[in-house]
Amino acid sequence: MRVAVLQATGLVNSAAENLRRLSSQAREARRRGADLLVTPELFVSGYAPTLVHTKDGTVHREQLAAIAREYAIGLVASTVEHEGGRHYISASFFNAEGTELTRYRKQNLFGSSEKSVFTPGADAPAIVEFHGANVALGICFDVEFPEFVRAAALAGAELLCVPTAVPLRESDSTGAQPFDTRLIPSMVVPTRALESQVYIAYANHAGPHFAGLSTIADPYGRHLSAAAADGELIVANINLNTLSQARRDTDYLSRFAPGTEANTNEGHQ
């Protein structure tokens, strides 16, 4: 399977323009042979939780399904979801016919703005088959927890698709920058891919306010492709033979799967 990741910054409350850009990138991804396109967190509405949470994304999901159908490409995209008076950050996976295969609600909300207006999801992501691979969804902060990625891998995921909006941190009053969030896509994401032996397709918004560095990482912890600029589309192949080899080389999953006993006497060390 060939996967594309879009790095682009959604304009807040400018859904028509964001959808136009997404449609153009879906066409380009398909031209470059991609079977699946992964897009950033809340790209259609723009990432501004306190400004966009009041509008349910049902219409946006219908428009996203139409884009997937028009270009015959799988599409992972994030929208606002309302149910029972609660608001969620969700991600949908549409197949090339525009059918929504699964929808996942973000479990690990980040920061005061998300927590003030959204409810965390309660359910683990489903595993769905697409082009011969088992795919699961996560959203942004989820992937920063090793337990989340490991649980998805143990459930059968081979590819984790992660719409993301990682902002850059402002300097404090002394001018110091306590945490460079660019470390998340550059270091944490490939580490998660390595330690849980999955592919990760991670789609972020771009600068100057977001960390960018969207990536496709393989189960050896390598960046197969990484983005630098706004509006950049990166593409890489998901090879299940490579995944199988990585799991044979270092059996992290089998050693710590539920119901098994860790064995520390064998392995590469």
Q: Which of 28, 97, 114, 140 is catalytic?
A: 140
Spatial contact of 185 and 214, defined as CB atoms under 8 Å apart: yes
- Rounded Cα–Cα distance for residues 137 and 147 (Å): 14
Angle 95-227-67 from CA coordinates, rounded to 5°: 25
Q: Is 41 a catalytic residue?
A: yes
Q: Which of 28, 55, 70, 106 is catalytic?
A: 106
| Pairing of β 232-237 and β 199-203 | unpaired
Q: Which of 41, 81, 114, 158 is catalytic?
A: 41
Q: Is 97 a catalytic residue?
A: no
CA-wise closest residue to 104 among 72, 48, 61, 67: 61
How many other CB atoms are there within 10 angstroms of residue 18's CB atom? Answer: 23
- Rounded Cα–Cα distance for residues 216 and 145 (Å): 18
Q: Is 115 a catalytic residue?
A: no
- Rounded Cα–Cα distance for residues 201 and 241 (Å): 18
Tell me which residues are annotated as active site: 41, 106, 140
